[in-house]
Amino acid sequence: MQQQQKVKKMEENLTILRRCSLFSGLSDTQTAALLQSLHPVRRSFSKGEVLLLAGYETQELGVVLCGQIEAEKQTADGVTLTLTRMGPGGIFADILAGSRGAKSPVTVTAATDVTVLLIPYKSLLRPGVPLDAAHAAVLQNLVAAMADKYFALDRRVELLMLHSLREKVLHYLRTEALPAPGGAVRTPYTRAGLAAYLGCERSALCRELSRMRRDGILQIDGRVFRLLPGVPPRQNGRPVRADREENDGM
């Protein structure tokens, strides 16, 4: 019975890992064999539990098998910013685990009930041990994933540097939101989550979205947004910042 459960869990892991960039290009047979040598640990967390606390080290990188996690950072004035959210196949703590004693700048929490695979970083490197093709491919994929995160961070900084909330909303919808049917886009965030990601208060975001709908810029259906033809109202050659009074909440 225990052996059957172990096989079932392995099959479940492989189903998810096919979508994980870390194991891209590997067959199920190669992935299964590699997991045997990496000695990963499968762990489950309830919604709200902390996977990694800011200020602490880790020697493991994680892969999300099911559920959603969020990485948050608290500013000096106590505002919590949601930096990223990821689901099945997402990789986290890869850069931190590969550092030399660096402490996590973010807290990673379970946004939903979540199951992750924790892989010891030292088992990935194994200095002095010849690498087979599968192991070498995983290391190449790991470097590529780190590069992707660098550019994602650059996009995040670009968003936070925008002055008005309307500019932030439009930038997010045009560059980061997920495609939806009919040319629309959708966000995985609730209004509170999107507000945290944009660095503003939920009430300020809701007011600005209402204004953008009223101004004929957006159609909104829950988490699905459609940008309407045309450009935001302009004044003296510059976009109107309809959210001036809410800037103190950003």
Model confidence band, residue 240 (pLDDT cutoffs 50, 70, 90)? very low
Query: ∠ CA(246), CA(248), CA(249), 5° rounding?
Result: 75
Q: What is the pLDDT of residues 73-98, one digit of tens each?
A: 887 777 777 778 899 999 999 999 98
Q: What is the pLDDT of residue 92?
A: 95
Contact call for residues 158 and 150 (beta carbons, < 8 A): no
Q: What is the pLDDT of residue 250?
A: 34
- What is this structure's pTM? 0.69
Average pLDDT, the chain: 84
Is the pLDDT assigned to residue 172 strictly greater than 70? yes
Q: What is the pLDDT of residues 17-68, one digit of tens each?
A: 888 999 999 999 999 999 988 999 999 999 999 999 999 999 999 999 999 9
Helix or strand run (H / E) with residue 225: strand 224-227
Go through the domains of the chain in sequence order and give each one's CATH number. Answer: 2-160 (2.60.120.10), 162-249 (1.10.10.10)
Q: What is the pLDDT of residue 244?
A: 42
Q: What residue ranges in 111-216 does DSSP mark as E strands?
A: 114-120, 178-179, 185-186
Is the pLDDT assigned to residue 241 strictly greater than 80? no
Number of continuous H segments (helices) and E segments (strands) in the chain: 8, 14
Alpha-carbon span 1 to 143, nearest angstrom: 39
Q: What is the pLDDT of residues 95-151, one digit of tens each?
A: 999 898 899 999 999 999 999 999 999 998 876 677 889 999 999 999 999 998 888
